[in-house]
Amino acid sequence: MSIRIRPLLITDIAQIHEIEKLSFSEPWSKRMFFSELEAQGYNHSLVAVDNASDHVVGYCCFWILEGDEIHINNIATHPDYRRKGIAQTLMREATAMGLQQCAQSVTLEVRESNTAARSFYERLGFCQVGKRIGYYCKPKEDALILRKPI
């Protein structure tokens, strides 16, 4: 399978929202994705597109904060395309963009019970640095704060 990474376009919102609903118990709204497209100077969003079908199969929304940190706000891959390196490629591209602005680390939150995601982030070199009590609502759960130096 061949994919390409490019910036999120307004025309991608419907596709990424479908992936979002398939991936999370508390999905972002379409409006939240639209807000990531509003130029703020720190917000960035990438999509992974399957070259064969031209469908969006994954996305990553992140902030590059004052040349010091990349914060991953949302990342997901369509269930039919998981375990093919797409999320890893998106993380690599986000990190490369942050490095261009002198970022020194990547942070994110993950559900404490999401062992698959935690294992993925651990393989990428992330370590737990904190916990946000009651961060998630559906169901109510703590978030682990993970960080990776770059």
Q: Which residues are catalytic?
A: 109, 121
Task: Give counts: helices (H), strands (E), the chain.
Answer: 4, 7
Give the torsion through C-alpha atoms of 96, 98, 7, 71, to 10 deg: 120
Q: Hey, what are 121's tokens?
A: 């982030």
Beta-sheet strand order (sheet of 43-50)? 3-7, 43-50, 56-65, 69-77, 105-111, 140-149, 127-137
